[in-house]
Amino acid sequence: MKKQLLSLLLLLCCSISLYAHKQHMLQKITNHNIQFIRCFFTDLVAHLKEIMIPAQHIENAIDEGLYFDGSSIPGFTNIYESDMHLTLDTNTFRSVPTCDGNVGVVICDNGYGPGKPYDACPRNVLKQTMQKAAHLGYGLYVGLEIEFFLFDNNTKATCDTLGYCDREPCPLRAAQKRSLLQTLQQYGVDAVKLHHEVASGQHEIVINHHNPLVVADQIILAKHAIREWASQNNLDATFMPKPIFGQNGSGMHIHFSLCDINTGTNLFYDPYNSCGLSQTAYQFIAGVLKHIRELDAIFNSTINSFKRLVPGYEAPTYVCWANKNRSALIRIPEFDHDCGAAARAELRCPDALCNPYLAFTALLEAGLAGIQYQEIIPDAIEQNLYRLSPDEICTYGIQTLPTSLQHALDLFEASTFVQAIFSQRLRSEFLKAKNNEISLFNRIVTDWELKRYHHS
């Protein structure tokens, strides 16, 4: 009887919360004189999709959802089960100023109908894993560094020749960069920092730490906002991991920690440990190290991703961890050991073409497995890994990350761990999409081949 009453109480609280969010969204639409709402969602490989609706139909869309043809989006459904449904997450609604008035933006979950979630919806998958962690008393916190290149639309060259954290000498470009931060803020992206990166035309934004669902939503919106801003400024923004041969590539470094779901205490912190990290932190990191190779197709999901993961460009190639060392896969950033809230680790292999919902799911599942099975973390490797000989790498027992998308997919497909955390539908659709990508690439004649073999 008590369980039934508790379930009813939780259902009532949920209904009240949903109603409050709906009313807040409707009020905001009225107050901001919003005429149109853009309903965003992603496919398995993080392509942003949208359905736009007039404001007068938004209440019905909130109550009933929106239907679309899932068979027309790779990775969703077959033609004989094509009808799919979007549920608007009213908690994600924001008003975005444009040149012709305010436009509403809301993020959606996809399923088969109201109350019928789709087991290959990346956002739903992440929410389920977060609920699993919450039942165990854990909450994941993540922060992001997203790198990208800007190219001049006229010259097709990088927009500048500056280096790491260089000051922008051109007042016009400096004003443009300030407007980029403003655009991100308008989209509700909590960007705490923008600076120039190592390569010409390369920039980085830092997204503040929050729960993974909030941050994943912000990644999707940030990429859209940056591309939109670039287009308005006669620039082309790309999150391609390796757009220029011989230059540093662009990554999406994930800073992560675990908190107590009830108190908010950082469970990664131990003031008595020399690194400031707890046993829980070491077990979580050990779980990620153990499963990273079979999960790498999620974190590095394109053919181009593996052209970034080569020695010498601050991108990891070896499966190990270190304190501060940026050549390691996972490093422990410097933090004040008197400030436990800042204790965290950084995963350096992902890039911004991954699906952030799936990436955070993979990270959390691997870490939870490390805690559950009390995995032992290997010794930290503090040397510059790029300078170690193959014999030294072998002596340390260090594995390498996959060297190609095909290699990563083979490990993904064969993994019993992957089978345990992702549904059969998600795995098969993801593999189908990525194998099709490889098949197409293998048939393309590249400029390199023409230069290499044309006169052979």
> Which tens digits make up the pLDDT trace of 417-427?
999 999 999 99
Q: What average pLDDT score do residues 257-278 get?
A: 93
Q: What is the DSSP letter of 73?
A: S
Q: Above pLDDT 90, what percent of the chain? A: 68
Q: Which residues are catalytic?
A: 69, 145, 147, 197, 204, 253, 326, 346, 348
Structural domain 127-453, CATH architecture: 2-Layer Sandwich (3.30)
Structural domain boundaries in the chain: 15-118, 127-453
User: In the CATH scheme, what is the homologous superfamily, with its name and number, of domain 15-118?
Assistant: Glutamine synthetase, N-terminal domain (3.10.20.70)
Nearest CA-CA partner of 125 in 431, 418, 421? 421
* Residue 34 falls in which region: left (phi positive, over 0), alpha (psi -120 to 50) or beta: beta
Cα 129 to Cα 135: distance, rounded to the nearest angstrom: 10
Instruction: Give the model's pLDDT for residue 15.
Output: 59
> What's the chain's average pLDDT?
91
Q: Mean pLDDT, to the nearest integer, of 443-450? A: 93
DSSP 238-284: E--S--STTS----EEEEEEEEETTT--BTTB-TTSTTSB-HHHHHH
pLDDT in tens, 316-360: 999 999 987 888 999 999 888 777 888 999 999 999 999 999 999
Q: Binning pLDDT at 50, 70 and 90, where does residue 116 land?
A: confident
Q: Is the pLDDT of residue 267 over 90?
A: yes
Return the CA Rg of the chain.
23
More confident residue, 201 or 73: 201
Q: Provide the 3-class DSSP secondary structure of residue 99.
A: coil
pLDDT at 117 over 90: no
